[in-house]
Amino acid sequence: MSRIKFGWAAPVIGVPESEFVPIVMAQQAQILPVVAEHFDSVWVFDHFYGFDRRTDPYLECWTTLTWLAARFPRLQVGTLVMGVGYRNPALLAKMSATLQALSHGRLVLGIGAGWRGEEYAAYGYPFPKAAVRIQQLEEAVQIIRRMWREAAPSFTGKHYEIKKAYCPPQPSPPPPLMIGGQGEQLMLPLIARWADWWNAGFMDAETYRRKRDILHRHAEAAGRDPAQIVHTFMKEGLPLPATSRDSARWLDELRPLAELGVTHFMLDFGHVTSREPVLRFVEEVMAPLNAE
């Protein structure tokens, strides 16, 4: 089994428990320095406002990610995942190239088809049906890749177009392109064709196995080696362990996924205020999982 890498999903929302300070800001002094010592990466969600209370403070994804990249220079940084309809893909390619240069190669660009229709409408973005958003995503991925690799790329698609879209300095190396999604008819075939990394989540191990196998079949059909696609998994809703029994539960949750090929976990622990459960997770979950 490859070494398992662990990512810290940094909540950008401010909640009553954090006195409405965005959690990522509340964690910067005491919690994130510990994270930076032991975790491999830090991740930010791409939304504009919260879910339970729309008026809670909620930081914009890319601005926060840039701040984190500067604040914690050891950690890889990534988006989990950006909605394709929120930013012009050529601009996103330029933003990514810039952050890759400023962070000395620590960016992972996570992108997906977007799903939160009310948020699109609130900010004045078109929200076409899922099949169209997936078409947009495929065109966006092609534009981004061309701008990262070609001197003066052009592209004409159904949804997007660029003409000699110069992107200096081009990222060296280009960031891994992580595509989030698990729809079996359209998304998994797209991921199989284009993704460096696949991000899934919110499913049990048996469902993951089935979707992984579908992805692998599509990758082989596209002439790709499935082993070249990095498998990542997002998990939330389970707090950091307070006891060794809690740590054992975490191992029971993560071990089956690791055995199925997941090599990167992105974990959202919510509002963490103490270093102790972070260190317990490091010692009783991360270390044993990598020792197996």
Please tell me the pTM assigned to this model. 0.97
> Residue 114: left (phi > 0), alpha (psi -120 to 50), or beta?
left
Per-residue tens of pLDDT for the chain, all 292 residues: 579 999 999 999 999 999 999 999 999 999 999 999 999 999 999 999 999 999 999 999 999 999 999 999 999 999 999 999 999 999 999 999 999 999 999 999 999 999 999 999 999 999 999 999 999 999 999 999 999 999 999 999 999 999 999 999 999 999 999 999 999 999 999 999 999 999 999 999 999 999 999 999 999 999 999 999 999 999 998 999 999 999 999 999 999 999 999 999 999 999 999 999 999 999 999 999 999 8
Which residue ranges form the domains of the chain, and what is each CATH number?
A: 5-291 (3.20.20.30)
Host H or E run for residue 87: none
The answer to whether 144 and 177 have CB atoms below 8 angstroms apart is: yes
In angstroms, the CA 16 to CA 56 distance is 9
H-assigned helices in the chain: 23-26, 32-38, 61-71, 89-102, 117-122, 130-149, 187-194, 205-221, 244-259, 275-281, 287-291
List the structure tokens of 210.
Answer: 């089935």
**If you search the block for the tokens 């981004």, which residue do you land on?**
144
- For 190, other C-beta atoms within 10 Å of its C-beta total 19
At 228, which amino acid appears?
Answer: Q
